[in-house]
């Protein structure tokens, strides 16, 4: 048994060996009511699982891209989420520079041109893996998509027609849309654009704090609001392109 404690948090891990070789089960208890163990268990699982290379059969870590025994590209692990695919810590707050660096490194390793001389299986795997990395990067790059994905990992999915019910908030959104529809000059459009970006930044901070506190409900409400402002941002972008505003 292993106990970890800090301030209001106390976690007790119990490790139990299985009769099957190489397997270990982890049980946990926690006194912090807002903490969920999904992230902890995912990290433990991915870091401890060992697989067999599909080509030579040697044992490798689940996170390995290339088999160290036969130098063969491995198939993507279906149990890995987008954070694991890109090799970054799971959480809402992501460093853009780290994300771009990991993405470019993986794309360089996985580019199909590198496997054109290999057999058809490896070439197909490289194409699938490269597409997966592209998808992971596109989702984790934007705060709204990243937040919705984190809720998805917790079993919470926002439907397309999910709406905010706060009358004051809806009135503000309606007013902004009306202002945008009546915008007559570039200065009006830029003012609305700056205001919209400021609100998105504020909501992004609120959602980050909610996830850090383990408050999925607050994160969900913040993301619902972000969807509204994201739609406004799309309208502003389209208007700028249509009118030639720089």
Judged on CB neighbours under 10 Å (0-12, 13-18, 19+), 217 is exposed
Q: Note down pLDDT in tens along the chain; length 246 residues.
A: 444 444 334 444 444 444 444 444 343 444 343 344 444 444 444 445 668 888 888 988 867 788 888 888 888 887 789 999 999 999 999 999 999 999 999 999 998 888 888 888 889 999 999 999 999 999 999 999 999 999 999 999 987 667 777 899 999 999 999 999 999 899 999 999 999 999 999 999 999 999 999 999 999 999 999 999 999 999 999 999 988 887
What is the number of other CB atoms lying within 10 angstroms of the CB of residue 203? 23
Alpha-carbon distances, residue 141 vs 38, 96, 138 (angstroms): 22, 7, 5
pLDDT for the residue numbered 61: 80
- pTM equals 0.76
User: Rounded to whole angstroms, how far apart are CA atoms 45 and 233?
Assistant: 39
Domains of the chain as residue ranges with CATH: 34-141 (1.10.287.110), 167-243 (1.20.1280.20)
E strand spans, the chain: 2-6, 9-17, 24-30, 50-52, 59-61
The C-alpha torsion from 151 through 153 and 157 to 158, rounded to 10°, is 30
Q: Which two tokens stand for residue 106?
A: 């993986």
């Amino acid at each position: 048994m292993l106990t970890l404690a800090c301030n209001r948090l106390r976690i007790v891990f119990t490790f139990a060996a299985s009769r099957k070789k190489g397997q270990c089960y982890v049980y946990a208890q926690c006194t912090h009511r807002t903490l969920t163990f999904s992230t902890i268990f995912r990290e433990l699982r991915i870091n401890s699982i060992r697989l067999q290379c599909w080509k030579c059969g040697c044992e490798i870590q689940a996170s390995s891209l290339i088999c160290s025994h036969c130098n063969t590209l491995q198939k993507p692990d279906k149990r890995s989420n987008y954070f694991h695919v890109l090799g970054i810590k799971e959480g809402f707050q992501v460093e853009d520079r780290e994300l771009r660096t990991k993405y470019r490194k993986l794309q360089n390793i996985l580019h199909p041109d590198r496997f054109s001389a290999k057999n058809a299986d490896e070439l197909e795997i490289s194409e699938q893996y490269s597409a997966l990395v592209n998808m992971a990067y596109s989702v984790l790059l934007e705060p709204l998509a990243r937040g919705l994905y984190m809720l998805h990992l917790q079993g919470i999915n926002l439907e397309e027609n999910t709406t905010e019910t706060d009358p004051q908030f809806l009135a503000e959104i309606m007013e902004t849309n009306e202002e945008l529809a009546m915008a007559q000059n570039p200065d009006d459009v830029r003012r609305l654009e700056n205001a919209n970006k400021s609100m998105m930044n504020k909501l992004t901070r609120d959602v980050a704090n909610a996830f850090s506190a383990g408050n999925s409900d607050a994160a969900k409400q913040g993301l619902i609001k972000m969807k509204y402002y994201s739609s406004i941002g799309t309208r502003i972008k389209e208007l700028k392109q249509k009118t030639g505003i720089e």
